[in-house]
Amino acid sequence: MNSETDVAKEKLVADFKAIVADTEELLHVTAGQAGEKAGAVRDRIQQRLRLAKAEFDLVEAGALRRARNAAWATDSYVYAHPWTTAGIAAAAGLLIGMLISRR
């Protein structure tokens, strides 16, 4: 899953770099004229922006899915092992309390 996330992140970064490059090109082209070239660049920018938004939505959906799965697994573990969970929580609270009281 980590490599899948890394690949998606790299693709998203590449898409946004392409958008920035196209925006700079649009500014350069429209500085002297606002004709057919400017329209073609604008269309290309809009298309890449749509693709980047779609990619972002996919990455977001994947992150939400993994977060829900982690929450479900945690919930299942707590219901299956309530005393173990209470012991771990108590130990963590004790450790945090000891660390805070040292200051």
Sorted by where each begins, the domain ranges of the chain are: 2-101
What tokens appear for 58 in the block? Answer: 């996919």
What's the length of the chain?
103
The number of C-alpha atoms within 13 Å of 81 and in the hemisphere containing its C-beta is 8
Tell me the H-state helices in 1-103.
2-32, 36-80, 82-101
10-22: burial string, b at 16+ Cβ within 10 Å, e else: eeeeebeebbeeb
pLDDT of residue 82: 92
Whether this model's pTM surpasses 0.85: no
Residue 21 has pLDDT above 70, yes or no: yes
Under 8 Å between Cβ of 56 and 12: yes
Report the percent of the chain where pLDDT is more than 90. Answer: 34
Q: Mean pLDDT over residues 51-67, rounded?
A: 83
